[in-house]
Each structure stands twice: as structure tokens, then as C-alpha cells.
């Protein structure tokens, strides 16, 4: 049995541009309406650093230019209606200032995993408190227990694991097996314990299983695939949007799909074509049929080893949830619903971990 868990990074563009109503509130409203039709659940991973800035702007200027109240209301209503809200942190926003109509961020704090422990600890504590203060009035039992770092940056892991556990966070969902980045963030998750089976993490390396670990990694579902699997309209939209709203610093960055060998562009493209790449179950970028096929592959390859229910974690971004995207997600929802004996819907903080004393079931 697989539990389908939709996680949504809830934020504006990474370079500080964009209207929070258009990029967060409006698309998430459509997503919640769509999910409610099918009984599916959304786990909103709310970037508290941005949201706190929008609130601060309102408090200081007396104008809700960045739609803080609509965001707060949407998060409260999500909890009220059985969806989930958990912690996402774009650390560079904590010191952000408005410059020429966009949020100018503190680039020295861009890479979460490389921050000093004390700073990281403060950010997690502040973010968790913010969500619990906001959401407990609608659900007294609400707890912030799950986390995703911006740009999946949880390596090196020592400070991250220590700070998450110290603040009562029980689940990290930043890792996707086979993923690699080098540049403004740096990680290599090739050796992650699994692409789908959660594991208690080792203090020194979040990719490694340690049965005594207090923090669980619930990975974003991923596979290694040839380049052709990446040719979808959703991915073209993401690439164009990313290019339009790119960071000035990104020129120097490489990812696992654009790492250049020393001998030039032609060889580089041959290498890109001949290599397999980390393919995440991304509900903005994958076609509906790709998601359905991946769900079945995951069920086939993992059901026998499963101790009960396994989470099939998808990732998406509110800012990329277009009207076209509704038409790719709908068949996947309908398919999951048609096979209740094999697939169910769930949230990140409920029903994803194997039963273990002290761990939420
Ligand atoms: Zn994000």
C-alpha cells in the first residue's frame, strides 16, 4: 500500500520577485479545491522566512501589500479542512529588504546547510513557533514536526540534524535519491538510503540510516532516468519561469544535469544525453501519465519489502501550478482514487512513518 503525499513549496520566486497573492494564494486555492474533489490532502510547506517578512511589512507600513492576511487565512483554513501545513525555510529571506520592488535577500545566508549551528537553530525555532502560534487557534493539537530546506540543502548534515531534533522536528523531507548540486548549494544524495522507504537518519549524514536516529527522512520520490523523461510542457514552463526570475548568482552554478566536463560544450551535451538524471515525482513538471506510471513502478518494486504503508512523496510549487497543470494532476488523482486497495492519500505529519515508540504513527 502506498500513501500518496503531495507536498507544496509555498513561496514567491527565488530572486524575491512576484506577488504573493498570484504566486501563493490563488494557485493554492485552486489546488485545495481540486484536491477536495478527490479527497486528496495537501501538505503546504510554508516558507516562514518570507511570510514573516510580509507580516513585518504590513505591521511597519500599515499596508498589506504582500497579502499577509490572505496567506494566514489560507493556512488556517487548510488546517481546518484536514490538510497539513509544515515548515519550509528560505534562510536568505530573514534579513531581506525591499529594493526596487523586489525582496533583496541576504545572499550570505542563502545556503541553509552551511549556516552556523546557532543561526540555523534560531531559524527553525522561530519558524516552528510562528506556525504553531498561527495554527493552534484553529487546531489546539497542531504541531510543526516536518521540515524541508530551500534548494534541498541539508548537506553537510551535522548542524541540520542537531538543530531539527533540538527543536522537536521529527521528519525531514529534503532528500531525493540520486540528486546532486554544486554551486550556490552543494549536495550529493546518490547514496541516500532509499528513494521511497523512510529511514531514521545518522547524525553525521542524513543519507545514512541509523536505527537510533531521532529524525526521520521521508524522501521525495525519485528515480534515475534518461533525459527523454524530462521533456514535458510543465518542465519547459518551469525552465522559462526559472530563467525569467533567475538569481544574479546562478551563472556560476551547476546541477547534476548541467555539470560541464573540462573539454567543452559538445562533450558536455553528449554526457548529458548519455547519463541518467534524478527525476523527482514533481506534480508541476511531470505529465499525469508519468506520475501514474511512477506510482505503479514504486508499488511494484517496494510493496514486498514494505512493512505496511509507504509514503509516495510528490513535490510541487504553488507558483508553478498553472491551469494546464490542473489537467495533468487530475488524472493522477482519479487513478489513485480508483485503486483504494493499493493507494491512499495522506499528509506528511500523519501516517507516514512505521510504528516505533516515540514516533507519530
Ligand atoms: Zn522553496
Cα distances (angstroms) measured from residue 182 to each of 71, 252, 351: 33, 9, 34
What's the pTM value of the predicted model, to 2 decimals?
Answer: 0.89
Radius of gyration of the chain (CA): 19
Contacts of 130 (CB under 8 A, 6+ apart): 48, 51, 52
CA–centroid distance, residue 174 to ligand 1 (Å): 10
CA–centroid distance, residue 294 to ligand 1 (Å): 24
Partner residues linked to 87 by β-bridges: 46, 147
Range of weakest confidence among 60-64, 157-161, 212-216, 351-355:
351-355
CA–centroid distance, residue 151 to ligand 1 (Å): 6
Burial environment of residue 311 by CB neighbours within 10 A (0 to 12, 13 to 18, 19 or more)? buried
CA–centroid distance, residue 342 to ligand 1 (Å): 31
CA–centroid distance, residue 123 to ligand 1 (Å): 15
Q: What is the mean pLDDT of residues 186-199?
A: 94
Burial environment of residue 29 by CB neighbours within 10 A (0 to 12, 13 to 18, 19 or more)? middle
Q: What is the mean pLDDT of residues 317-333?
A: 94
Contacts of 124 (CB under 8 A, 6+ apart): 87, 89, 147, 163, 164, 167, 169
CA–centroid distance, residue 45 to ligand 1 (Å): 8
CA–centroid distance, residue 129 to ligand 1 (Å): 19
Q: What is the pLDDT of residue 361?
A: 36
CA–centroid distance, residue 110 to ligand 1 (Å): 11
CA–centroid distance, residue 63 to ligand 1 (Å): 25
CA–centroid distance, residue 338 to ligand 1 (Å): 32
CA–centroid distance, residue 300 to ligand 1 (Å): 31
CA–centroid distance, residue 292 to ligand 1 (Å): 25
Q: What is the pLDDT of residue 225?
A: 73
Tell me how far apart the alpha carbons of residues 192 and 116 are, in angstroms, rounded to a whole number: 24
Strand boundaries in 185-285, DSSP class E? 187-188, 199-200, 216-217, 222-225, 254-255, 277-280
CA–centroid distance, residue 89 to ligand 1 (Å): 7
Q: How far is CA 238 from the centre of its chain?
A: 15
Q: What is the pLDDT of residue 305?
A: 56
CA–centroid distance, residue 113 to ligand 1 (Å): 14
CA–centroid distance, residue 232 to ligand 1 (Å): 22
CA–centroid distance, residue 266 to ligand 1 (Å): 33
Q: What is the pLDDT of residue 266?
A: 55
Strand boundaries in 68-201, DSSP class E? 84-89, 97-99, 102-104, 146-149, 171-172, 180-182, 187-188, 199-200
CA–centroid distance, residue 18 to ligand 1 (Å): 14
CA–centroid distance, residue 189 to ligand 1 (Å): 18
Q: What is the pLDDT of residue 242?
A: 75
Q: pLDDT tens-digit profile of 216-271? A: 999 999 999 776 666 777 676 777 777 777 775 553 444 443 333 344 555 555 66
Q: Are 290 and 329 in contact (CB under 8 A)?
A: no
CA–centroid distance, residue 269 to ligand 1 (Å): 28
Neighbours of 331 (CB within 10 A): 14
Burial environment of residue 243 by CB neighbours within 10 A (0 to 12, 13 to 18, 19 or more)? exposed
Range of weakest confidence among 77-91, 221-235, 264-278, 288-302:
264-278
Range of weakest confidence among 87-101, 137-151, 295-309:
295-309
- Residue positions counted in the chain: 361
Domains of the chain: 2-345 (3.20.20.370)
Q: What is the pLDDT of residue 351?
A: 62
CA–centroid distance, residue 139 to ligand 1 (Å): 25
CA–centroid distance, residue 280 to ligand 1 (Å): 15
DSSP string, 169-197: --EE----TT-EEESSS-EE-TT-S-SSS
CA–centroid distance, residue 297 to ligand 1 (Å): 27
Q: What is the pLDDT of residue 293?
A: 95
Q: What is the pLDDT of residue 233?
A: 72
Q: pLDDT tens-digit profile of 154-167? A: 999 999 999 999 99
CA–centroid distance, residue 10 to ligand 1 (Å): 7
Q: Is 308 helix (H, G, I), strand (E, B) or coil?
A: coil
Q: pLDDT tens-digit profile of 94-133? A: 999 999 889 999 999 999 999 999 999 999 999 999 999 9
Tell me how far apart the alpha carbons of residues 326 and 334 are, in angstroms, rounded to a whole number: 12
CA–centroid distance, residue 150 to ligand 1 (Å): 5
CA–centroid distance, residue 323 to ligand 1 (Å): 21
Amino acid at each position: 500500500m502506498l500513501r500518496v503525499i503531495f507536498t507544496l513549496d509555498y513561496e514567491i520566486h527565488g530572486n524575491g520577485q512576484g506577488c504573493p497573492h498570484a504566486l501563493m494564494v490563488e494557485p493554492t486555492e485552486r489546488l485545495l479545491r481540486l484536491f477536495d474533489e478527490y479527497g486528496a490532502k495537501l501538505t503546504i510547506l510554508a516558507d516562514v522566512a518570507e511570510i514573516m517578512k510580509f507580516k513585518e511589512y504590513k505591521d511597519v507600513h500599515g499596508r498589506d501589500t504582500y497579502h499577509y492576511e490572505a496567506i494566514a487565512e489560507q493556512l488556517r483554513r487548510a488546517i481546518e479542512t484536514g490538510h497539513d501545513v509544515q515548515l519550509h525555510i528560505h534562510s536568505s529571506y530573514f534579513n531581506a529588504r525591499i529594493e526596487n520592488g523586489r525582496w533583496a535577500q541576504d545572499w550570505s545566508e542563502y545556503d541553509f546547510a552551511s549556516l552556523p549551528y546557532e543561526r540555523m537553530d534560531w531559524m527553525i525555532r522561530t519558524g516552528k513557533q510562528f506556525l504553531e502560534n498561527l495554527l493552534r487557534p484553529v487546531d489546539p493539537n497542531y504541531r510543526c514536526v516536518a521540515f524541508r530546506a530551500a534548494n534541498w540543502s541539508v548537506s553537510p548534515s551535522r548542524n541540520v540534524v542537531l538543530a531539527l531534533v533540538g527543536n522537536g522536528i521529527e521528519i525531514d523531507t529534503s532528500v531525493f535519491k540520486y540528486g546532486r548540486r554544486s554551486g550556490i548549494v552543494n549536495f550529493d544524495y546518490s547514496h541516500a538510503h532509499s528513494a521511497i522507504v523512510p529511514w531514521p537518519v545518522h547524525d553525521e549524514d542524513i543519507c545514512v540510516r541509523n536505527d537510533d536516529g531521532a529524525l526521520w527522512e521521508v524522501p521525495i520520490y525519485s528515480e534515475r532516468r534518461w533525459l527523454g523523461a524530462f521533456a514535458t510542457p510543465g518542465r519547459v514552463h518551469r525552465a522559462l519561469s526559472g530563467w525569467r526570475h533567475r538569481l544574479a548568482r546562478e551563472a556560476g552554478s551547476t546541477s547534476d544535469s548541467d555539470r560541464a566536463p573540462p573539454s567543452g560544450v559538445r562533450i558536455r551535451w553528449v554526457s548529458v544525453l548519455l547519463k541518467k538524471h534524478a527525476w523527482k515525482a514533481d506534480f508541476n513538471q511531470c505529465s499525469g501519465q508519468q506520475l501514474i506510471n511512477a506510482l505503479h513502478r514504486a508499488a511494484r518494486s517496494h510493496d514486498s519489502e514494505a512493512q505496511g504503508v509507504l509514503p509516495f512523496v510528490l513535490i510541487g510549487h504553488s507558483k508553478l501550478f498553472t491551469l494546464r497543470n490542473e489537467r495533468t494532476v487530475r488524472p493522477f488523482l482519479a487513478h489513485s482514487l480508483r485503486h483504494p486497495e493499493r493507494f491512499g492519500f495522506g499528509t506528511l505529519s500523519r501516517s507516514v512513518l512505521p510504528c516505533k515508540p516515540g514516533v507519530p504513527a
